Amino acid sequence: MERLFIDFSVDKLRQLETRIQHCLTLLTLEQIWWRGSEESNSVGNLVLHLSGNVRQWVISAVGGAPDIRQRAGEFAARGGMPADQLIKGLKETMDEAVPLISNLSREKLTATVVVQGYNQSVVEVVYHVVEHFALHAGQIMYATKLLQKVDLGFYRHLHSSTHSEKTP
């Protein structure tokens, strides 16, 4: 059961990461940092936020790295960082986090860690990270569709009787 949970979690995170990368390649610099209102976050803010969240919850809390997250800065950024830098930063974070998740043992999954002042089992940490990543990936995809007026094509394979994607 734990292997199924871990493998699905890793596959889902990688799938969403590639979808975010695709969205970033479609957007102009201005669109990446566009905010619908002052209370809203830009796609750029969301990518920075996802990197910070995964780094804090997985790389730090589970992997033992120092927690150096500057959460307020993720939302305070107002532009300048282009798509390729956002893609690189997210990829580096995911390349560090995914092996930590992939190599979790049954014992480690049930261990308790402290993250953002909360005691959490590692299962809860992984579940939170996947759920949180999916939420913001959906926002990024919606913003991209809104700004570019395009179908992102992530579900075109459903029109084929032979598709190989493992997770929707």
Residues 123-132: what's their mean pLDDT?
Answer: 98
- CB half-sphere exposure, 63, CA atoms < 13 A: 22
Give a yes or no: residue 164 inside a domain: no
How do residues 34-88 score in pLDDT, each as one tens digit?
999 989 999 999 999 999 999 999 999 999 999 999 998 899 899 889 999 999 9
Predicted confidence (pLDDT) at residue 162 exceeds the cutoff of 70: no
Distance CA 83, CA 101 (A): 26
DSSP letter, residue 77: -
* CATH number of the structural domain spanning residue 30: 1.20.120.450
Q: What is the pLDDT of residue 163?
A: 57
DSSP letter, residue 116: T
Number of domains in the chain: 1
Q: Using an 8 Å Cβ cutoff, are 136 and 128 in contact?
A: no
Give a yes or no: residue 165 inside a domain: no
Instruction: Pull the structure tokens for residue 160.
Output: 């084929």
Residues 140-144: what's their mean pLDDT?
Answer: 97
**Best mean pLDDT range from 17-31, 62-76, 146-160:** 17-31
Give a yes or no: residue 168 inside a domain: no
Residues 110-114: what's their mean pLDDT?
Answer: 97
Give a yes or no: residue 88 inside a domain: yes
From residue 83, how far is each of 13, 23, 86, 134 by CA, in Å? 19, 9, 5, 19
Give a yes or no: residue 166 inside a domain: no
Predicted confidence (pLDDT) at residue 156 exceeds the cutoff of 90: no
Give a yes or no: residue 27 inside a domain: yes
DSSP letter, residue 87: H
Q: Using an 8 Å Cβ cutoff, are 129 and 13 in contact?
A: yes
Q: Using an 8 Å Cβ cutoff, are 97 and 59 in contact?
A: yes
Give a yes or no: residue 133 inside a domain: yes
Residues 11-22: what's their mean pLDDT?
Answer: 98
Domain carrying residue 45:
2-159
Residue scoring higher pLDDT (31 or 161):
31
